[in-house]
Amino acid sequence: MTILHKIKLHSNPNVQIINNGGNFTANGGLALVSEYLDKLDFSKLIDHQIHFDDPRKFKEHSNSDILLQILFQLIAGYKNDSSANFLQNDPALKLLFNKKN
């Protein structure tokens, strides 16, 4: 019997399953969606194909990042805008969007 403390996958030894009480997420599957969209150059498609009429002067996030965040949120099953406040602290989404805070 294997105790789930630290296991390496046979299919990919670079992937480890570790239970050390660190940051947890229920949205780890979004990494596959991110990988797929990256293969499609989805961010470039957004920038070239969608025009945003955005009069904001001080932008913290690009329109394509906002669209991707909403897309990931909907794919993960979060249907309300209020979920964005909860998801801003999700470790998986921080990694997917390369956010440090």
Query: pLDDT digits over 34-44, tens only?
Result: 888 888 999 89
The mean pLDDT of the chain is 76
Dihedral in degrees, nearest 10, Cα atoms 9, 13, 15, 20 = 80
pTM of the prediction?
0.64
Task: Tell me the C-alpha distance between 24 and 82, whole Å.
Answer: 20
Here the tokens at position 48 are 């070239």
For the chain, list residues with pLDDT below 70: 1-25, 99-101
Residue type, 33: V
Domain locations in the chain as residue ranges: 27-96
